[in-house]
Amino acid sequence: MLDWQFLALLASNGVLIGLMYSLIALGFVLVYKATDALNFAQGEFVMIAAFAVAAGLTAYHAPLWLVVVLTLAAMVAFGFGLERAVLRPLLGRPIVAIIMATIGLAAILRGLGPLVWGAATKALPLPVSDEPFAWGPLLVPPIQLVGAAVSLLFLAAFGWFFLRSRRGIAMRAVADSQQVALAMGIDVERYFALAWAMCGVVSALGGIIWGSMLGVDANLSVVGLKVFPVVILGGLDSIPGAVVGGLIVGIVENVAAGFVDPYVGGGTKDFAPYILMILALMIRPYGIFGKPIIERI
Amino acid sequence: MIARECGVFKTTYEADMALYPLPIARWTVGGLVVLFFAVLPLTLHEYYLSIVNLIAIAVVGALGLNILVGYTGQISIGHGAFMSVGAYTAANLAVRLDCPFWLAVPLGGLMAALVGAVVGVPSLRIKGLYLAIATLAGQLIIEWTINHVTWISGGAQASIQVPRPRLGGLVISSQRGMYFLLMVVVALAVIGAMNLVRSRIGRAFVAIRDHDIAAELIGIDIFRYKLLAFAISSFYAGVTGVLYTYYLGVANYEQFQLVTSIDYLAMIIIGGLGSILGSIFGAIFITLLPILIRYLMEAFGGLFFSTQVVLNLIPNLRLILFGALIIGFLVVEPEGLNRLWRNIRTYFRVWPFAY
């Protein structure tokens, strides 16, 4: 006998969490879409931004808006610098080189955060109450609601950016074919840098929300591993895909955790999304919204 | 080194492909055998031998991963998990069936090869980025399974104590005994890998790496060879896991997490993709890195920082240096330490003459 109220509660939490996954996945998709690089350091981007915000709020007692603005600016600068120093020399190299470069970057960031700001878990206090509010049978923690709202806002903003703005259209052209874009007079390398900077912005927002929910330490970067099921399900190069993938992963992991955990002793949350991902890879590797790859010799 | 190639002319393909490219190589190999089987174990302190043992274990794993990534061009971020499969197979065999060491090593390897081949199945349909993500999923799922199925992991903290390795009536309990065992395994692994990559199978691997569709057109059964590459590579990984388990005396999944997979990837990147010697260099380098950092920080860190800071510094500095080295090698010297070694050799080939 299914407990419908329990299911609704799990699913509603899953939707909110899923939207927050979408936000992080968005950074990943932006980079992949424009530069064809797989960013294995996505979770570490989120972590380092959360570290910066937590340190700004608790150690330097700066006002929230100032910290957020400074972190966003720093992450943009970081994105530009990263593209120039690391990714550009690796253009045209085998995929394993780019993957390993981002893995190396992840290691650096994971060492740098605790080195600069200390390894202890830090709180990231946002002006949001901790009391979950009840809405019918549903219990909604306000921070998740804020996170979901921010995610939706930015997903919409990026949707507009890609469909309507001049830069967004140029970026889509770069993503479609770098050579043709070059021939049309688009400065491809500049858009690569822009993609990494946008990834930095999204990661910073993700870091503030996830850091506030989970506390800030090096383990926050594990959130980045959840990005892979999200983007594989949705399609590596699709923004709507990031939303749908995030929702699917959020709902599936919450519901699975609620119903399966009592039997296997916990941990289903970290397991179910990957099973789903393997299935997706077998059946439809380019995802729900991704564009199929056609190979020619 | 000097003028050693004088008067050597190869007139057949067999001579060109021979394991010993030059007559003098026999002497080099002989010298290495004496060094590793007589000089080192008799002179080194037990503690340094334990470090050499760690390196030896890493060499086997790095060779295996290099066969897959460097030679076949398939990516695996799941090798840590394959090692844990070997480790737990051997541990269960040793504890439940009283399986001897010499049998546990290949059996652990075979089990890992089986699991590796299954994880490699998606490699037919997906490649590159997608394969990387699929093997990542394989890593996480295997990790979770071992951790949650008590029949495999032995329950408490998912660790199984293994008895000391025995050969006949001889119980090997010292690092020195372990050293000889490991050296034999490493020698077998190196010779096996060298012969593999110059065989028909190795050539097929390289063809798939260079262009898989072209390889298919010249009649290479891609699916079979990709699976074979995954199986062989995982076999090496499984053996690594077994050896490490016997080295530690306990099988524990925490030794084989995602971080381990990344360590081994770093070894072959830094050592040199598609090179046997590179795998060995990389294994030495990555194994020694944390030991050296710890040693240097404990010796000199106290001069600059307080003890508290040093304790925080050691693990984080390791991560930062590790990442910086990977990126540095990728950007500056993509062919790794092996290339640096070749440059040195080329320089001395006609030394002291400029041409």
* Span B106-117, average pLDDT: 93
Phi, psi dihedral angles at A138 (to 5 degrees): -90, 145
Q: Least CB-CB distance to B69: which of A86, A96, A264?
A: A96
Collect contacts of B205-209 with beta carbons under 8 A, ≥24 apart.
Answer: B205/B67, B205/B71, B205/B72, B205/B229, B206/B71, B206/B72, B206/B274, B208/B72, B208/B73, B209/B71, B209/B72, B209/B73, B209/B274
Compute the distance between CA of residue B338 and CA of residue A232 in angstroms, rounded to an integer: 36
Q: Which of A205-209, B65-69, B345-349 has the highest mean pLDDT?
A: B65-69
pLDDT digits (tens, 9 = 90+) for A19-28: 888 888 888 8
For residues B250 and B213, what is the distance between their CA atoms, to the nearest angstrom? Answer: 44
Mean pLDDT value of segment B200-227: 91
For the cut 80, the answer to whether the pLDDT of residue B21 exceeds it is no
In this prediction, residue B94 carries a pLDDT of 86
Contacts of A119 in chain B (CB under 8 A): 312, 316
The ipTM of this complex is 0.84
B354 falls in which pLDDT band (50, 70, 90)?
low
Q: Are B322 and A107 in contact (CB < 8 Å)?
A: yes
Label residue A144 by pLDDT band (50, 70, 90): confident
CA distance A155 to chain B (A): 24
Q: Classify residue A120 by burial, with Cβ atoms within 10 Å: 0-12, 13-18, 19+.
A: exposed
Domain limits, chain A: 14-125+138-217
Q: Identity (one letter) of the amino acid at B117?
A: A
Closest in A103, A108, A281 to B134, CB measured: A281
**Residue position matching structure tokens 């507009």:** A160
Confidence of residue A13 (pLDDT cuts 50, 70, 90): confident
Which residue is associated with the tokens 């989120």? A46
pLDDT, residue B238, reads 94
DSSP-assigned beta bridge partners for residue A134: A139
Sign of CA dihedral A208, A210, A212, A216: negative
Among residues B146, B151, B179, the alpha carbon closest in space to that of B165 is found at B179
Nearest to A281 among B126, B140, B312 (CB): B126
- Residue A265: pLDDT band with limits 50, 70, 90: low
DSSP B4: T
Q: Please name the member of A38, A107, A119 whose beta carbon is closest to the beta carbon of B323.
A: A107
Query: pLDDT digits over B263-277, tens only?
Result: 999 999 999 888 999
Average pLDDT, chain A: 84
Q: Does residue B43 carry a pLDDT above 60?
A: yes
The whole-number pLDDT of residue B225 equals 92
What backbone phi and psi angles, to 5 degrees, belong to B159? -130, 145
**pLDDT-based confidence at residue A297 (cuts at 50, 70, 90):** low
| CA dihedral for B147, B153, B155, B156, sign (positive or negative) | negative
Phi (first) and psi of residue B258, to 5 degrees? -50, -35
CB-closest option in A97, A110, A267 to B330: A97
Average pLDDT over residues B217-232: 92
Through-space distance between the first and last CA atoms of chain A, rounded to whole angstroms: 55
What is the C-alpha to C-alpha distance for residues A222 and A165, in angstroms, rounded to an integer?
Answer: 34
In the DSSP assignment, the letter for residue B300 is: I
What is the reported pTM? 0.88
Inter-chain residue contact B132 with A111, CB threshold 8 Å:
no
* Chain B: closest CA distance from residue A160 (Å): 28
Q: Which two tokens stand for residue B111?
A: 């089990």
Q: Which residues of B touch A108 (CB under 8 A)?
A: 319-320, 323-324, 327
Sequence-ordered list of residues with C-beta below 8 angstroms from that of B336, at least 6 positions apart, any chain: B268, B269, B270, B271, B272, B273, B275, B278, B281, B282, B329
Cα of B175 to nearest chain A Cα, Å:
32
Pull the structure tokens for residue B331. Answer: 């950007």
Which percentage of chain A shows pLDDT scores above 90? 7
> Alpha helices of chain A — where are they, by DSSP H?
4-35, 42-58, 64-82, 95-117, 142-164, 166-176, 178-183, 188-214, 227-234, 239-264, 272-283
**In this structure, are strands A138-140 and B170-171 parallel, antiparallel, or unpaired?**
unpaired
Q: How far is B25 from chain A (nearest CA, A)?
A: 33
Burial class (CB in 10 A: 0-12, 13-18, 19+), B98: exposed
B203 vs B225: CA distance, rounded Å? 10
A282–chain B nearest CA distance, Å: 7
Q: If you measure CA to CA, which chain A residue comes closest to B119? A: A278
* Range of lowest pLDDT (A120-134, B78-92, B100-114, B123-137): A120-134
Tell me what the pLDDT averaged over chain B comes to.
86
How far apart, in whole angstroms, are the C-alpha atoms of residue A115 and residue B296? 17
User: What band does A293 get if pLDDT is binned at 50, 70 and 90?
Assistant: low
Q: Identify the pLDDT of residue B234.
A: 95
Angstrom distances, CA of residue A10 to CA of A2, A140, A255, A274: 13, 10, 5, 19
Radius of gyration of chain A (CA): 19
DSSP E strands, chain B: 159-161, 166-167, 170-171, 250-252
